[in-house]
Amino acid sequence: MEQLKYYIALGAPPIRTPADGSEAYLRPEVGFNPSWFHKYYAIDFSEKWHTNVEFRMKSHETMRNEIKKHFPGYNIGGVLNNEPFDLLTGIYGIGIVDSIFGRPLQYYSDKWPVPDNTPLTDEEIIKLTVPDLVHNKFFMNVLNQIDRIYKLTGSVRGYLNWQGNLNTAFRLRGESIFLDLIDNQEIVNKLLTVISDTYLQGVKLLYAKQKEYGTIYNFATIANCTVNMVGPDLYETHLLHYDDKIAKEFSVIGIHNCAWTVTPYIDLYSRIPNVAYIDMGIESDLKKVKDVFPFARRNCLYKSIDLKNKTYKEIRKDFEYIAANLAPCDVGLPDIEYDVPDDKIMFAIDLCTELSEKYS
C-alpha cells in the first residue's frame, strides 16, 4: 500500500508528501516557524514572498545555504537532497480557500499570512456558491506561478495547503460553527458542501496543471486541527460524511489530526478509505493507532514547547515510548521558534537515529 509521510518545506507550514519506502524506522521531520528564519537570516515572508516566484527563490537559496551552516550534516528541510527548490509549498499558508472566496489575508514579515476572521452570516452562507476556479483570479494566479516555477527550477513539485472541511468551516464561520453543528444543520450542510466541492475542484485542477510538467500526485489530505473541539459524536453524525466524500475521490488519503489526542476518533477515521497517513499527539493511544492503521504511515507530533522545556532525559523517555508503541513512524517536530536551543533540535534528530537502530 502507498504511504504518505510528514513534510515540512523550508519556510512553509507542514504538509504531506508520498513516502518512497526508504524512511527511517523513527524518522524526524523538523520545521521552523517564519519567525525563526526572519530572526536569523532576515527572510521576509510578507506578501511578495507569496506572489513573486523570483523573490521566493532567493529566499529559498538563503534558507538552504544557512541551514547547512547552522546545522552541518543535518538534512533539515531536505537541504542535503540536491533536489530542485520546492517553490510551491507554503504559498498563502492556510489561506488558499479563504482567498478563493475573496477573503483578504493579512501578511507579516515574520509569520504566515492570517485569513480574515470575520464570520460569515447565515445569509452569506445561504448565498455561497462553489466558484468556477478556471475563472477565479486568485487561483489562476497560483497556476500561473507554476509556469514560472518550472522555468526557474525545472520542477513543479510541491503542494498547496487546502486544509479540510472542519478547519475551513471554522475559519469562515468562526466559533458559531460549533453551535451550528448542534442546532443549525441546514447551514452546516450548505457550508460543508461548498467547501468540499471547492476543495475537490481545486486539488484536481492543481494536479492537472502539475501533470502538464510531468509531476503526478494522487492523494489528498484532510486537516482536522479543530476536531477535538467537536467531539466524536458530532464528528460522526455531521462531519465524517464530508471527509469520506473527499477521500473517495483519491486513491490515497492523509488525515491530519494535529498534535492532540486522536484516541476518540481512531475508529471513526478507520471508516475512511485508503488512509495512507495519520498523525496525532503523544497523549494518544499509540498502540491502538498502530493496530487500526497498520499499513498507514503514522506520525507523532512532538510539540515545540515540549522540545524547548523538557529535559533531555524526558525527551528521551518520550521518544522511547513513541518508538516502542507507534514505529515505524515519523516524529514531527514542527513550529520551532528561535527560543528552542539548537542542541535540543540536534539531540532529537540524533535520538531518532539511535532508536531506529535499536528498534528496527
Query: The domain spanning residue 23 has which CATH number?
Result: 3.20.20.210
Give CA separation, 320 vs 124, 189, 327, 359, in Å. 50, 43, 10, 9
Tell whether the torsion through CA atoms of 96, 98, 102 and 106 is positive or negative: negative
Q: Per-residue confidence of the chain (360 residues) as pLDDT tens digits?
A: 899 999 999 999 999 999 999 999 999 999 999 999 999 999 999 999 999 999 999 999 999 999 999 999 999 999 999 999 999 999 999 999 999 999 999 999 999 999 999 999 999 999 999 999 999 999 999 999 999 999 999 999 999 999 999 999 999 999 999 999 999 999 999 999 999 999 999 999 999 999 999 999 999 999 999 999 999 999 999 999 999 999 999 999 999 999 999 999 999 999 999 999 999 999 999 999 999 999 999 999 999 999 999 999 999 999 999 999 999 999 999 999 999 999 999 999 999 999 999 999
C-alpha cell at 33: 516557524
- Reading phi first (left if > 0) and then psi (alpha if -120 to 50, else beta), residue 335 is in left
Distance CA 259, CA 280 (A): 5
Residue 31 is predicted with a pLDDT of: 98
Q: Are 150 and 142 in contact (CB under 8 A)?
A: no
User: What is the spatial distance between Cα 169 and Cα 173, in angstroms, rounded to a whole number?
Assistant: 6
Task: Count CB-CB contacts under 10 A for residue 204.
Answer: 14
Count of alpha carbons within 13 Å of 280, Cβ hemisphere only? 26
The reported pLDDT for the residue numbered 62 is 98
DSSP character for 100? H
Q: Grid coordinates standing for 348?
A: 532529537
3-class DSSP state of 297: strand
What's the grid cell of residue 45?
515572508
Could you give the CA distance from residue 264 to residue 64 in angstroms, rounded to a whole number? Answer: 40
Q: Which residue has the cell 537515529?
A: 353
Query: Quick one: cell of 202?
Result: 481545486
Q: How far does CA 215 lie from the centroid of its chain? A: 20
Are the beta carbons of 88 and 148 closer than 8 angstroms?
no
pLDDT reported for residue 1: 80
- 3-state secondary structure at position 139: helix
Count structural domains, the chain: 1
Q: Which residue has 527560543 as its cell numbers? A: 339
- Alpha carbon distance 52, 56 (integer Å): 6
For residue 80, give the 3-state DSSP assignment. Answer: coil
291 vs 175: CA distance, rounded Å: 34
Distances from the Cα of 298 to the Cα of 1, 25, 115, 266, 275, angstroms: 14, 11, 29, 12, 10
Query: Is 130 buried (19+), middle (13-18) or exposed (0-12) by CB count in 10 A?
Result: middle
Domain hosting 139: range is: 4-359
Between CA 296 and CA 282 the distance in angstroms is 17
Per-residue confidence (pLDDT) for residue 277, from 0 to 100 = 99
CB 300 within 8 A of CB 278: no
DSSP code of 178?
Answer: H
